[in-house]
Structure formats: C-alpha cells, structure tokens
Amino acid sequence: MFSPVLAEIRFGCGLSPDLQPKGSVEDILHRLAGPDHMAIAHPTADFDSFWPQSTALKALRQKRGLAEGTDAYDDLNAQYKAMRREARFEHTRWFGQIILRHSQTEDGFRERLALFWGDHFTAQGKSGLAKRMGAPYVDAAIRPYVSGRFADLLISAVTHPLMLHYLDQHKSIGPNSRVAEKSSGQKGLNENLAREVMELHTLGVGGPYTQRDVRQLAELFTGLGFKPKTGFQFKPNMAEPGPETVLGTEYGGDPAQLEAIHMVLADLALHPATAQHVARKLVVHFVSDRPDPVLVGHVAARFRDTDGDLAQVYAALLEHPAAWRPELRNVKPPLDFIASACRALALRPAHLNRMAPKRLAKGLLLPMVLMGQPWERSNGPDGWPEEDAAWITPQGLAARMRWAMLAPRQLAGRLPPPEKFVETSLGGYADGPVRFAARAAETQAEAIGLVLSSPAFQRR
C-alpha cells in the first residue's frame, strides 16, 4: 500500500533532499485541490499577450521581403533577427521554469498531471513564433482544469486557438455556410479536429463511433476560429447551418451557435467509452505499460459515477492497492528523467535563472533532442509514446548517460556527497550495486552520474 518514497517517485517528480515526501494519499489530493503555487513562482508567458507577436513577426518578415535590395533592408533584417532571437531565448527560459517547477514543488502530482494532460491534448504551432507557444498553451488551457471536471478540461483544450491552429480547424468551412456559398470551392470541411476529439481525446481508438459521426461532428465544429489579436472567436458565417447528429443525439440548428459545440463536447466527456479510455491512459502513464484491468475498471467506474470529476478519478487511482506495487516499472521519458534529476540535485532557482540562454539550451533542451523527446515537438496529435521500448534505445540510453555524467555539475554547480546522494535520490530503492558504484567512482561527478544512470533512477 501507500509508501511516501514510492508516492514521490511514481506519482510525483521524484525525491528531493530539501522536501519531505507526502505522508498520505489525502495529503497528495489536498495539495492538488489548493493553489497552483509553482505556476505563480515560475511563470512562462501569458498566451493571449504573446500570441499577437506571431502576427507581428510575420508582418515584419513580409516587410523585409519587400524591402530587399533597398536601404531599408538591413535595418528590417536586424529587427527580424532580434525578434526571433528574443523569442528563442524566451522559449528556453520557459523550459527552465518547467524544470524549476518540478524541482521546487511540494505538489509533484500536479506537475505530472500537467504533463499528462498537455500530452493528451497535444497542440503545436506549425510556423513562426506559434511553434514556441506550447508552454503558454498548457498554462492557459490545461493547468487550471487538471483537478476539475473532465468536460471543462476538454472544452478548454479543444476550443483553444493553438489547438484550432494545429488541426486547421479555423479553416474548416461548413458545406452550406455563407462563406461556402461565396467561395470558389477551393476550401471545405476539415475533419481533423473532430476525428482527434473522438479518437484521442474522448472515446478512444476503436470507440463506438462511425465515419458518419466524425463527419457530423466536423460540421458541428465549423465556426470555431480565432484572431491573433483577440484570441478565440466563433464565426457563424463559416458554420454549417442546421442540426447535426452525433452518436444518435441531435445538436445545433439554424443559426449555428457555440453552445451546441459545448453540449456535444460535454456529452462526449461523459460517455462510458471516454471513462474507460481516460482511466486506461492514466493507469498506463502512472503505473504500468501493462495496466491491471481491475485497476482500470476501478478508475473508470469512479469516472462514470462522478460524471468525470477528475479529483475523484485521481482518488480512485491512488486508493487502489494495485497502484502501489513496490517494483518500479515504467521508464521515465526524457523530460521526467531530467526534471527528476534536477530535483534530486536540489537545483537552485537563482543559479538556473542566471544561466545564459545558450548555456541553458545546451544543458537542458539539446539533451532532450538527443534522448528522443525534443520539447513540445511530438510527431503527431497523439503525443509521446508511453511504451518503455520507445525510450530504451541505444541512442537514447547513450544520451542519458552522457547527460548524467556531464550536466549535473554545470546545472547545479556544487554537487552533493555521493553517499548522501544515493540515499536522497533513491531512498529504499538504492541497491547494493548502486551504493558500491557511488563509493568506488573516481570522481564526485562520476559517482553522481552513475546514480542517475542506474536502473532504479530511470524508472518510477
């Protein structure tokens, strides 16, 4: 059953020499119900404020292109490069804030949930500065809802401008809309968002829906859009008029309205197939690639019984004995590995915040690429794989070991004594070989690297 050390490793961000492990499941849930201290202490950027800069950069690029061959070009080119450089530095700084949240928090379950749901609702910018806006998207659309109703989280993520941009929903036009009647016929209905909502976000692959349901949902979604300067916008002139039938229920009418979209999303959020899909994903992510069907069933039942109250869903996960089997199973993905290592090293905010962006990128972002998980650049809307095999590759392991040997000194400055580090980073999971390796290492950096490279530290 419950173990404080296991709770930090499996459901939190790992052990820290500065922070006491939680004493109970109730303590974990109590902190999750409280304020989001880390988002305040280590902020990224306000999405609505940063989003218009993407348009400004695009306009500057066009202006520079028109000025090519004139005296104005050099100045415009310098402005363009400076704006891109500043955005790149900001992006690097945001990753540092994510690492600090993991390193400093007493509410590690929240940080893990923010990553989990951010991946479940993957959205990425496809060009310009939008490619760097993943962190502000998660902070705006995901974090405030991680312990509320799944329906609210679903609506928030699906209608967010970055999601609409990523899946080209803002270009989708109802076949009988006012815009379609005036268009040349080159643009039309886009089913991307509707398909991903059913397949990835709610009912799951193989769920109880047909291609006709996808098509009807896509028609219902028409009108979802945004403006870079003002954010989300529902555009009735692009929306398909008349009702649509999704899973046997009729939604919408004429004129089309946003409320109908919220209604279908709320219904999809409460569907029994959604409960099963979400429960299985949670168990796979937090407990094992081979989920215990009894545990999945227990979590799914709580989802159904509480209408998707996520706090209650997490309680069902944490209260079940199958979630507390002591052997460490899942391999930490690269982000979790690096973040938990920084936490074990007691990374200091002042030290990290003083680092130059290039040095920070070299110490944190580039290694993520080499380990196979470039930050915020998963291969598709289904996010990062959960299977251990995806992360245990020769190249990935070599990159982890290289980072473990070289990066701790650069990031933390002062390294802890190896004998102490073994205890504070692994607790009771420090076995004889790890202790011996730490003692026998020729240098302090090598000892720390060996502990971080150990199988026990790589798993949770």
Please state, as a whole number, how many other Cβ atoms lie within 10 Å of the Cβ of residue 394: 7
Angle at 32 between CA 166 and CA 293, to 5 degrees: 75
Q: What is the pLDDT along the chain (460 residues), one digit of tens a residue?
A: 899 999 999 999 999 999 999 899 999 999 999 999 999 999 999 999 888 888 899 899 999 999 999 999 999 999 999 999 999 999 999 999 999 999 999 999 999 999 999 999 999 999 888 999 999 999 999 999 999 999 999 999 999 999 999 999 999 999 999 999 887 766 799 999 999 999 999 999 999 999 999 999 999 999 999 988 889 999 999 999 999 999 999 999 999 999 999 999 999 999 999 999 999 999 999 999 999 999 999 999 999 999 999 999 999 999 999 999 999 999 999 999 999 999 999 999 999 999 999 999 999 999 999 999 999 999 999 999 999 999 999 999 999 999 999 999 999 888 999 999 999 999 999 999 999 999 999 999 999 999 999 999 999 9
Separation between Cα atoms, residue 270 and residue 215, nearest integer Å: 21
Separation between Cα atoms, residue 263 and residue 267, nearest integer Å: 6
So what's the pLDDT on residue 186?
Answer: 61
Token pair belonging to 232: 């989300």
Q: Is the peptide bond before 243 cis (omega within 30 degrees of 0)?
A: no
Residue found under tokens 């004995």: 321
Three-state SS at 232:
strand
11 secondary structure, DSSP code: I
Residue found under tokens 């950069």: 57
Token pair belonging to 282: 């949670």
Partners of 224 in the β-ladder: 234
So what's the pLDDT on residue 76?
Answer: 95
Question: What is the per-residue burial (b if ≥16 Cβ within 10 Å, else e) of 213-232?
Answer: bbbbbbbbbbbbbbebeeee
Maximum alpha-carbon separation in the chain = 76
Residues 6+ apart with CB under 8 A from 182: none
